[in-house]
Amino acid sequence: MAAGVVSALWRYPVKSVLGEAIRSASLTAAGLHKDRAYAIIDIESGKVASAKRPQLWRKMLELSTVSEAGDSFAIRFPDGDVVGVADAAIDDKLSAFLGRAVRMSAQAADTDSLDRAVPEEVLALGEGAQVDSTHLVLAQGSPEGGFFDYAPYHVMTRASLDSVRDALGDDSILVERYRANIVIDCPGIAPFAENSWTGSELRIGPDAVLTITGATPRCAVPMLSHGHLPKAPGALTKLVELNRIELPEFGPGVYPCLGAFATLKRPGVVSIDETVELVS
């Protein structure tokens, strides 16, 4: 059993666009409220655009999300323009910025997929290189579907995140590189304890309960520049050194991992500094 508190909450309303730190949120079967609610679709391939394929989509990490009134969102572009996700101009603006014809979507489908570049090839050849990729069908661990890589929640401990940052001596190793939803502080816990949490329950505050479904394998995204954060190859290479484990559900081999996936067992509203208890 481990106990701690919620130290950070993040949501990413538009997949592969920079997210936002929030103070509280409802936890639902479809994820943290409004997390991955939208995706940008590549019209030529029909696939979800994702910085997991940096050669085409790394500029998505120059875009940021802006919360607007009425639970709606907009995209802020590097030139300062802010365009609502439901605005008629958003598709043309995104297409011009990304250099490919795209459209904004708020309707996830069971067949949604994306291309995931092989991280080792990105490291070896550079983020602009044409590298091999694997086909990833989205939301395979999400009962409600959605624009999730796998499961609707991604949690990690501060100890695991800090171990990577401290080993690198790089203060830019922050949670937003790894796009977790919930970061928890558990005094005295060992780094990468999440590896052994599969099947455990994470009870947050008086009501919410998540079920941990497995460790989170990492892709090329953490090493890329994120807004004001510079490139950080060590965000991936250090994990290769510190924490590689077998994940049979993702295929043979060992994977650099940080954090854990989770699904909802019981809904609730969670906030920063909420108590957390892990029960095996």
Sign of torsion over alpha carbons 87, 88, 92, 95:
positive
CA distances to 54, 115, 119, 235 from 45, rounded to whole Å, are: 16, 10, 21, 30
In whole angstroms, what is the distance from residue 134 CA to residue 117 CA?
A: 6
In whole angstroms, what is the distance from residue 217 CA to residue 253 CA?
A: 11
Residue type, 68: E
Name the residue range of residue 146's domain: 2-279
The pLDDT of residue 1 is 55
Q: 47-70: per-residue pLDDT in tens?
A: 999 999 999 999 999 999 999 988
- Residue written as token pair 């937003």: 176
What are 204's strand-pairing partners?
208, 276
The pair of structure tokens assigned to 248 is 């049979």
Contact 179, 61 (CB under 8 A): no
Contact 108, 147 (CB under 8 A): yes
The pair of structure tokens assigned to 193 is 């304890």
Domains of the chain: total: 1
Q: Who's near 266: CB < 8 A, 6+ residues apart?
A: 207, 208, 209
Return the CATH number at 49: 2.40.33.20
- Residue written as token pair 């920079």: 18
Read off φ and ψ for residue 249, nearest 5 degrees: -65, -20
Q: What angle do CA 206, 212, 217 make, to 5 degrees?
A: 135
**What pTM was computed for the model?**
0.95
Hey, which bits of the chain come out as E strands?
Answer: 2-11, 20-22, 24-28, 31-32, 39-42, 64-68, 72-76, 82-84, 102-105, 113-117, 133-137, 153-157, 182-185, 201-204, 208-217, 244-246, 254-266, 268-271, 275-279
DSSP 65-100: EEEETTTEEEEE-TTS-EEETTSTTHHHHHHHHHTS
- How far from the centroid of its chain's Cα atoms is residue 86's Cα? 23
120-145 burial, b at 16+ Cβ within 10 Å, e below that, comes to eebbeeebeeebebeebebbebbeee
Contact 180, 259 (CB under 8 A): yes
| Burial classification of residue 161, based on how many CB atoms lie within 10 Å of its CB (0-12 exposed, 13-18 middle, 19 or more buried) | buried
The pLDDT of residue 221 is 97
pLDDT tens, per residue, the chain with 280 residues:
578 999 999 999 999 999 999 999 999 999 999 999 999 999 999 999 999 999 999 999 999 999 998 889 999 999 999 999 999 999 999 999 999 999 999 999 999 999 999 999 999 999 999 999 999 999 999 999 999 999 999 999 999 999 999 999 999 999 999 999 999 999 999 999 999 999 999 999 999 999 999 999 999 999 999 999 999 999 999 999 999 999 998 888 899 999 999 999 999 999 999 999 999 8
